[in-house]
Chains A and B, each alone.
Chain A
Amino acid sequence: MGGSASRLPREVLGEYQELTFLSKQEILLAYKRFSELLPEGEKENARSVRIPKSRILTLPELRANPFKHRICRVFSTSEDGDDSMSFEDFLDMLSVFSDSATSEIKSHYAFRIFDFDENGALDREDLENLVNCLTGQSEESRLSSAEMEQLIQNILEESDIDKDGTINLSEFQHVISRSPDFASSFRIVL
């Protein structure tokens, strides 16, 4: 731990602590895990290098998650659109998924993760994609089309307040605020 602490300068550590919901321990652990993903020669400048999506998805915390591609897409700030993540993107992700993040910020990012077509609202295709991710991708584990239709109809009845056939961010946050279990399930710990 002492070695990695010397590689992250103190003022940068302090800055990260102020701007994210992570504690010092968690930031240092994140730095360690991030550098482990880098090839041998680049371990020194972990803060300026981008890791490709395929390497990030080898992390055990993301490997089995059905939303792993969406998570990489939402948190990546890469201009090339290849969903590669820098160390700051990684910290962003851990901060949103940490214990102390507010429910509001979690629901904001949950909305972006569930918005598969990125049009700013959860429409029927998004909801269908979401349910398929939850139940498993194989044919026998999906819900039948009648059940899917009934489910989506019910969801839209319950959450779509302005009745435009889609769920926008505020409607989503309104639904989420009624569930106290959301914050504890929307959590990744390294």
Chain B
Amino acid sequence: MSRPPAVTLQVSEDAESDGQEPSPCNEGALHTSFRQLIQEQSSLAEAAAALELQVQAGGREPPEPWPAGWPAPEQDQERAGYSAATLRVLASMPSRTIGRSRGAIISQYCNRTARLRRRGSRPPLQQLSRAARPSLRQHRPDTDPAAATLQEKRSLLVKELLSLSPAQRGHVLLSVPLCLAEKRTLRQELMGQRGSPGEGARRGAPFSPCSRLEYHVMLGCRGLWYGLLSLLPAAQPWHRSLKQIGSRFGSSVLSYFLFLKTLLMFNVVLFLLLLVFVVALQAAYPPAPASRRPFTGLELLTGAGYFTHSLLYYGYYSNGTLNEPCAARPNCSAAAPPLPYNMPLAYVFTVGVSFFLTCILLVYSMSRSFGESYRVGGPAGDLAIKVFCAWDFKVVRRRWAKLQSENIRTQLKELLAERRSRCRPRSPRRQLERVAVHLLAWGLSLGTVLGCVVAVHYFSGHLHAVQQGAQARAGSAWRREAVPLALPLLVALMHAAVPHLYNVLAAWEEWDSPVREVYVAVCRNLLLKMVVLGLLCYQWLSRGGVCSSEACWETCVGQDLYRFVVMDFIFTLLDTVFGELLWRLVLEKRLKRRQRPEFDIARNVLELIYGQTLTWLGVLFSPLLPAVQIVKLLLLFYIKKTSLMQNCQSPSKPWQASHMSTVFITLLCFPSFLGAAIFLSYTVWSVKPSESCGPFQGMETIYESGKTWVNLLEKSNPNITWFTWIHQYLVENTFFLFLVSGGLLW
């Protein structure tokens, strides 16, 4: 690879990025001089062009800046009418040599570093030379990097780097696109120059024993910190599995598994908080044992029976101080407990704090994902982007690489066909037809949603009546257990069947753009899930609902949510088995087609979001529900990965992975988490807890426990009135909460 020396025409580089605005007439002067230069060059060099090309063909390295592999003069006529000499001049422009020549890269970075240094300081007016072009005002002959040799350029760059701060220096060294050997040379020169007498005098300041000790301690701490940080990638779970998936199926399918990992992290945080502050302590001080039913296997499915009076549900948790020594024994001394642990307060605070933390984490991931994926400018340039960014370098095996090539070829052909058809104007009748089709499809999908909602409403009413009847009659045991399972079964069946109907509708609609098709499918599925969940929440909290007749309605709601989570998991499993495994067998054996079923990313992600919403809804009523969700997610990862490897192929439609990841995390935040937070706030602020069970028995609302505690605190210790003042004016004042949430979002 020949490395021609750098170009002499560096002037254009600095023109735009000075602090001073160049006046328009100066820029015009720049353009005319450039045009003149090209004309001069072409007139001068035309005569000698043929001779010089012969010299180059003879194999000698020509002294002028000349790219290797220069095309023969005949081909020049095809290149937009430029002559050989003009093309030569153009080829030696900085924009074209930057990519190739080491010297050009060093000069470019030298200029950049100089600009970085100069950014803060404008030169005083007296120092400005009289030159017309603003670019030349700061262009001094002795520091012009363009005309120097490689060694001189290197020392210039080193000089510029020395004037930067160490952090900036490190950043420039990292980001300069030179080979490693070159960077090491630069670094060694930097170290050498830093050790010179000029620097040494500054560092030779008195190094007292105290500061020496501090210095060593700091070094030691920093070494420890770096050691810990380097362990962090090794502690990443599933690194190998994710790499395997990414290398075979590409970034699109990988985004589903990364989303699963994110959800797992949220649940782990939630679970740890609840475990430490609520569950573990209640387990250490169990309440008076109620009559426990024996454990049969059915409890794992229904969440009732043995589990009813256990740590799993709200009803188990006590409503007083936990380590009260005088609870049971009559003749104990009245000494105060060392550290009174007020369970109701702990319960409500832990749930509140964990939701707050989840909110912060969600907003942070959403903003980071948005920052990575948002790009100015619309879909213009998508063919160029498609070609340049199409190849996923993670793909490893030859067979998968071949599949990827086929995918890319299909996508390119489709895009080109779409462009050709777009050029042909569509008749107004056809456009009207399409609008009518879309409206009809949306009407059908909304109708389906309405139908499902009405079905759920009537079915749950019917179930309630059946259950009342069964209790009155004291019917068979299995019937009592099976009836509560019917509603989750119906809802799960709906969620499994209706998306297939939506797929049929989408195929009938014939969308032009596959990306828009995916968005519409996601919208419709999400609408169905959220509306049904909304109806269920209303039923749980309303007076006439299924659980309102129970003594301990919170435990009942917790059990219902547990059943929904378990049923959702079972149906996901069934969907994987039938949708992927069986379908692949059918395609291969019966229909004899080589194609495998595609992994439907959007539907799977929505299922994950739905499951997470259920968990968030149920945290207040069942503190161990995040643990159930963690187990479910772990199992789901391995099952989905196995099924993917055995049965599926990567999606053939184009999939903007980072954009869709942003959409998914936004969907997780907005309908899902926001809905759960609203549900929680409504429950805490307005719903009356049950009389006989749980930490908030007998109070008007759960929120009252907080107020009671504050009053108690005020009475016991008059000195901390400032705390009650904070509580009264800040927490209860909605304006302050508004400010805080606004600050958080910003």
State whether A185 and B180 are in contact (beta carbons under 8 Å apart), knowing that A63-B398, A134-B408 are contacts in the complex. no
Give the complex CA separation of A66 and B400 in angstroms.
12
Stretch of A35-43, A50-58, A150-158 lying at the B interface: A150-158
Residues of B76-126 contacting chain A, CB below 8 A: 79-80, 82, 90-91, 95-100
Q: Select A181's contact among B98, B251, B377, B396, beta carbons within 8 Å.
A: B251
Complex contacts, B582 vs chain A, CB 8 Å: none
The answer on a CB contact under 8 Å between B99 and A180 is no
Chain A contacts for B47, CB-based, 8 A = none
Give the shortest distance, in Å, between A59 (CB) and chain B (any CB).
10
Q: How far is the CA of A178 from the CA of B658 in the complex (A)?
A: 12
CA distance A158 to B385 in the complex (A): 9
Q: Which residues of A contact B402 (CB under 8 A)?
A: 136
B393 contacts the other chain (CB 8 A): yes
Q: Select B1's contact among A60, A73, A133, A158, beta carbons within 8 Å.
A: A73
Taken together as a complex, chains A and B put the C-alpha atoms of A102 and B80 apart, in Å, by 35
* Residues 413-428 of B at the A interface (beta carbon under 8 Å): 413, 416, 419-420
A89-B234 in contact (CB<8A): no
Closest Cβ neighbor of B409 among chain A residues: A135
The yes or no answer to A139 lying at the interface (CB within 8 A) is no
Give residues 227-246 of B contacting A (CB, 8 Å): 230, 233-234, 243, 246
Which residues of B500-546 are within 8 A (CB) of A? Answer: none
Contact of A169 (CB < 8 Å), options: B98, B233, B373, B406: B98
B100 adjacent to A120 (CB under 8 Å): yes
Residues 84-114 of chain A, each 1 if its beta carbon lies under 8 Å from chain B, else 0:
0000110110010100001011001111101
Q: Type the 1/0 row for A147-170, where 1 means its CB is closer than 8 Å to any CB of B.
A: 100110011001100001100111
Chain A residues numbered 113-138 whose CB sits less than 8 Å from any CB in chain B: 114-115, 117-121, 127, 130-131, 133-136
Is there an interface contact between A108 and B251, defined as CB atoms closer than 8 Å? no
Q: How many residues of A contact B (CB 8 A)?
A: 78
Contact B401 A66 (CB under 8 A): yes
* Residue in contact with A170 in the complex, picked from B95, B233, B243, B405, CB distance below 8 Å: B95
Segment of B169-177, B487-495, B614-622, B712-720 engaged in the interface with chain A:
B169-177
Binary contact readout B60-71 vs A (1 if CB under 8 angstroms, 0 otherwise): 000000011110
- Determine the chain A residues whose CB is within 8 A of the CB of B412 once the complex forms: 131, 134-135, 143, 147, 151
- For B656, give its contact among A20, A91, A175, A181 (CB under 8 Å): A181
Determine the residue in chain A with the shortest Cβ distance to B374.
A180
Is residue B691 contacting chain A, with contact meaning CB distance below 8 A?
Answer: no
Interfacial chain A residues near B653, Cβ < 8 Å: none
Tell me if B175 and A104 are in contact (CB < 8 A): yes
Complex interface residues of chain A between 45 and 90 (CB less than 8 A to chain B): 60-61, 63-67, 73, 75, 77, 81, 88-89
A147 touches B413 (CB 8 A): yes
- With both chains docked as a complex, state the minimum distance between the C-beta of A6 and any C-beta of chain B, in angstroms: 16
Give chain B residues whose Cβ lies under 8 Å from the Cβ of A25.
230, 233-234
CA distance A65 to B377 in the complex (A): 31
Asked if B274 is at the interface (CB within 8 A of a chain A CB), the reply is no
Inter-subunit contact B657/A184 (CB<8 Å): yes
- Closest Cβ of chain B to A24, distance in Å, is 5
Inter-subunit contact A180/B375 (CB<8 Å) = yes
> Of all chain B residues, which has the CB nearest A99?
B233
Q: Does B216 contact A (CB under 8 A)?
A: no
Least CB distance from A182 to B in Å reads 4
Contact A15/B187 with A143-B413, A169-B95 known, Cβ cut-off 8 Å: yes
Residues of chain B contacted by A187 (CB below 8 angstroms): 393-394
CB pair B80–A165 under 8 Å, yes or no, is: yes
Determine whether A141 belongs to the interface, using a CB cutoff of 8 Å to chain B.
yes
Minimum distance in angstroms from A49 CB to a CB of chain B:
14
The 5 closest A-B pairs by CB, nearest first: A120-B96, A64-B401, A88-B180, A136-B405, A135-B409
Known contacts A136-B402, A155-B387; can you find 8 more A-B pairs with CB under 8 A?
A61-B396, A92-B180, A114-B388, A134-B387, A147-B413, A151-B416, A164-B80, A184-B251
9 residue pairs from A and B, CB less than 8 Å apart? A21-B174, A63-B396, A88-B180, A127-B387, A134-B405, A136-B405, A158-B381, A178-B376, A189-B243
